[in-house]
Amino acid sequence: MRTKIKAGKKDWMPYLFLAPAAFFILAFLAYPLATVFFYSLQSYDVTKIADKGFVGLENFKDLFQDDIFFRSLRVSAKWVLVEVISQLVLGMILALLLDKKFKGRGLYRCIVFFPWAISGVLTSMLWSLIYNENIGLLNSLLKDLGILSNNMAWLGNMKTVFKATAVAEIWRGIPFFAITILAALQNIPADLHEACVVDGATGFQEIFLVKLPMLKDTIILTTLLRAVWEFNNVDLIFTLTGGGPSYRTTTLTMYMTNMSIKNGNYGYGSALAVIAFFVLLLFAGIYLKLSGYGKEDA
């Protein structure tokens, strides 16, 4: 009898250890998610308190008749593609360079990783000063080089605002890929490099035929994570442009933020959040399926 009681107590021990983690997951993930789904079915506009109440799918019907919603989806897709591809390519180049042995490599690694340690708001302030029309470093530099004759409002011009904002985010995101890819490169056996040298392979052949195939899972996972983060990016866009001008930098999450925080329409903002959730869920499933993550190449 004592043996059975002791065995029963031991069976509960793993659940007791997992209980704190489960509590925090429910408190900080499941509950907020359920709240968003709940408010997406409500009319909850702080400017129209009298109309507060359950409206079913009305928010979603209004959403699919909203031209700004569809425009924000296109901006989000463009933003994610530009950011992830640019950061991946530049981050991989830096990782390959930093993987080589040279004098002062540790110092250069610190310099490369520095932007990743800066908060989004601080990054926004830094780049807003660089882009400032009157005292900005960029205008001053381009005028000294004779490229510009007059100051340009980089964040106020509809032709340049998206590119300017994208550059600031690319600068911040490159270290993420550099760090993760560098870590993966250092796990590749040195024997493979020696074999490539013996076989007479060029540096490009070694990269594309040996290293890249071994980095496949790392690249898939990091691009997926970065795509999700960039899709949800709000802090930098909010601080630099607020989604303007003329919705040129209004991503879906930026539109959701403006509707909820600025306009006080939490019901409609929650409906946008629900759509964003399912867009990311669908994208992640399809991307992992098509990329063959975790599968060995035949």
- For the question of whether the overall pTM of this predicted structure is more than 0.75, the answer is yes
Predicted confidence (pLDDT) per residue in 46-100, tens digit: 887 777 888 888 999 999 899 999 999 999 999 999 999 999 999 999 998 888 8
User: How many CA atoms are closer than 13 Å to the CA of 93, on its beta-carbon side?
Assistant: 6
Give the Cα separation of 87 and 97 in Å (integer).
Answer: 15
Domain ranges of the chain: 50-291
Judge whether 40 and 34 are in contact, CB under 8 Å. no
Q: What is the DSSP letter of 42?
A: E
Was domain 50-291 assigned CATH 1.10.640.10? no
pLDDT grade for 278, boundaries at 50, 70 and 90: very high
